Amino acid sequence: MRQSLTEFPHYRNDSFLLDICLGICHIDFEKYKTMPVTVRKGKANVEDRVRVIRAAFSLSQEALARALGVSSRTVARWEEGTASPSPLALVRLQHLNKIREKARRLFQGKEADAWLRTPNPALRGYSPVEQLRAPGGLEEVADLLGRIEWDLSTSCYR
């Protein structure tokens, strides 16, 4: 019989796992032998996603590492498949992907690529791709695209 995770309320509580490790409470694991497993098919693995994002922005491993706040060796490990990004790095990778998608939606195809590589006065004369390499640049580029999308003082942004 297949059971849903709602029947296991203790799995939603991180302190419960700590209690188990410390031996404060006991679980009859035989009772929970058949746990549902979700398998996602058709999703690209992390290594491929990192490579696609790097290629889309023409970033080196070092430049992507700076944009994500990790070391270049960490990015290399992700691409090799020997390590996985932390939750924070995954969020930042998602932000990069959203920036790419939003630029493509606002500027259609090749025009989006040109915008990402053209110096922009709103980014102190840097291109969005160059700005991604700076600390805080990811958020700054996302903010700029949001301003363009909502048409807020965009005369110097485009």
Q: Mean pLDDT for each consecutive 10-residue tract of the chain (158 residues)? A: 48 49 52 50 72 88 88 95 91 89 87 90 92 86 92 61
The token pair that represents 136 in the structure block: 């805080």
Q: What pLDDT score was predicted for residue 18? A: 45
How far, in Å, CA of 70 to CA of 72, rounded?
7
Asked whether the beta carbons of 101 and 113 are under 8 A apart, the reply is no
pLDDT reported for residue 74? 95
Nearest by Cα to 98 from 45, 146, 48, 155: 146
pLDDT of residue 42: 41
pLDDT of residue 43: 45
Q: What are the strands, taking DSSP E only, across 54-119? A: none
State if pTM tops 0.85: no
Cα–Cα distance for residue pair 20/18, rounded to 1 Å: 5
- Return the pLDDT at 57: 85
> Would you state the pLDDT for residue 5?
45
